[in-house]
Amino acid sequence: MSEAIKHECGIALIRLRKPLDYYIEKYGSPLYPINKLYVLMEKQSNRGQDGAGVANVKVNVPAGHRYISRYRSVMNRPIVDIFGKINAKYRDVLKNNPDKFKDADWLQENLAFTGEVWLGHLRYGTHGKNEIESCHPMLRQSNWRSRNLVCAGNFNMTNAEELFRKLVKLGQHPKDMGDTVTVMEKIGHFLDEENQRVFERFKGIYDNPALSDIIEDNMDLQRVLHRACRDFDGGYALAGVTGYGSSFVVRDPAGIRPAYYWADDEVVVVTSERPPLKAAFGAKFEDIKEIQPGNAVIIDKYGEYGEYNIVPAVERKACSFERIYFSRGADDEIYQERKTLGKLLVPQVLKEIEHDLENTVFSYIPNSAEASFYGLMEGLDNHLTSWRKEQLMKGDINEERLDKILNFKPRFEKLVSKDVKLRTFITNDNDRGDMVSQVYEMTQGVVRRGVDTIVVIDDSIVRGTTLEKSILKLLDKLGPKKIVIVSSAPQIRYPDCYGIDMSKVREFVAFRAMLALLKEKGLDYMKEEVLEEARRSFANKKGHKQNFVKRLFDTFEYAEVSDKIAEILKPAGLEAELAIVYQTVENLNIACPKNLGDWYFTGNYPTKGGNKVVNKAYINFMEGKEVRAY
């Protein structure tokens, strides 16, 4: 991708289903769960590089011993930092008490991070501060084990302010207004009430020490989650561990955020993606289950698990950006879908180059556009097969013409390389553009000057800054007649509010293009009309039933916006002709049939809070406010 988008976080939960000594005996080390969690987190490092955290809960340790351990880090390599600290504890045991290294009872009573439940989190801070207090897992503490809660997730709530007000109305005093603390306290509130409900049921029958165990055995986490999540408006995959060792991962009712699980007789594991489960445990993709929208995987204190409904599912709108860019392409479904995105672009590309394959060089922007490039290659090969058949069916072909037909191949080259080691450390805006240009290198001697057209595919174009400031200038130095930038994703027109760092409309090049078209065609007055409609929607107590910004985009044809984007992004002095081709929403839905969440392209939000956010984002833009809309 030519411009990185900060986006969703990643989660990894492991529940050991047998005592620790089982793993020590079978695998020869108490480090079995630590090593597995490390792999799960490293294999999801694409989901979070701003910070990381690990929490561990021991299920059966006597009173007086710490049973919840947690490390968080915002270092440059947070995963390595955290696991380095955990492993240091084990090295101390090997050094000072080597005879205890494989003694499970001693380890659990004397060493942190020796419990049965592990929760890891990788953080991409969409808006929160990049400091250790913002890193998950979060901890809600109590002196009663069953009231403790460790929480981590991949989520954004559009109604965090409303949730905050409800907590205050209950008499609580949350330490933060952000959705992370608000969500944890919301679940924690109903966890407290569930504790009280069970206590009232059994008090007088058991004395207090025994009653604590009875409460833990009779806690209904499905009920707790239902009562908490029914007020949530957003996309979420929320993981939690109670102090007594029960755990859960709950998914939003539209399935916006992803979550998968796999289990055998030794472990239950939940992650944000499927490939880490295969890498860490050798799980077959067909054995990995997706947590269905509105459901939760709940694991009790004894390691028994099930998938249960928490809130009624609505129309499935799983995030399509997961398939386009965010998730690892090692997932076989995602790889094929990305290839299909490239393949479906072939008719548009052929039209743009006027079917002149002989004088066209095809390439891609590394690295996430590679799969769609392979799809484009495959689609062009299929096109050529049909073309060859047509030519041969005409008959009356001499040997020279036959050789040309059979041997003709499109020119697929790696024109663009990325130096991943180079960091743009310059902070001055005037100097940064030059440094960014050094990140990319162009392959020389492939493009015929003044003759060839270059077609370069990228997975998406959000702001277009890197194209304008760097890539287009570098491609132009190769001397092409024309440059065609192809986006395997449609035009990004609307803000996201479910976990992706795309919340300010002014940053989208498609939005800028729409504004330019309004001005060009004398329709600027529509901006004020939409502004008034958006403002009225906030005065309407019935809520936000409409995305008013759609009216502005609906004024123009899709191709008009694409052409205007090309004008905006064309650097001064660019000698080559420039065109930009975008994927259509219809083809996106064909390629990614399970992930039809396309609100950033269409403005069709899956929750009622989405319209509120887009209308607020537009108001902020018109009023010159540099703040997010939720």
> Could you report the average pLDDT of every consecutive run of 10 residues in the chain (630 residues)?
63 98 98 98 87 96 93 95 98 97 96 98 70 91 96 92 88 79 94 96 87 95 98 96 98 98 99 97 97 99 98 98 90 96 98 98 92 98 95 87 92 88 43 60 96 97 93 97 98 93 91 98 98 93 87 98 98 98 98 98 96 96 87
At what angle are helices 332-343 and 370-393 packed, to 10 degrees?
A: 50
Secondary structure letter of residue 291 according to DSSP: P
Bridge partners for 270 per DSSP: 13, 261
* Tokens coding 199: 């206590």
- In 413-548 the beta strands, taken as DSSP E runs, fall at 416-418, 440-442, 453-458, 482-487
| pLDDT of amino acid 126 | 52
- In 469-572 the beta strands, taken as DSSP E runs, fall at 482-487
Count of other CB atoms within 10 angstroms of residue 154:
30
Strand, helix or coil for residue 574: coil
Q: What are phi and psi of 575, to 5 degrees?
A: -85, -30
Cα-Cα-Cα-Cα dihedral sign, residues 151, 235, 178, 194: negative
Whose tokens are 């906030």? That residue is 538
- Could you tell me the domains of the chain? 10-316 (3.60.20.10), 322-623 (3.40.50.2020)
| pLDDT of amino acid 259 | 98
Alpha helices (H) in 344-464, listed in sequence order: 346-352, 370-393, 399-407, 429-437
* Tokens coding 358: 């002989």
C-alpha–C-alpha distance, residues 610 and 8, integer Å: 17
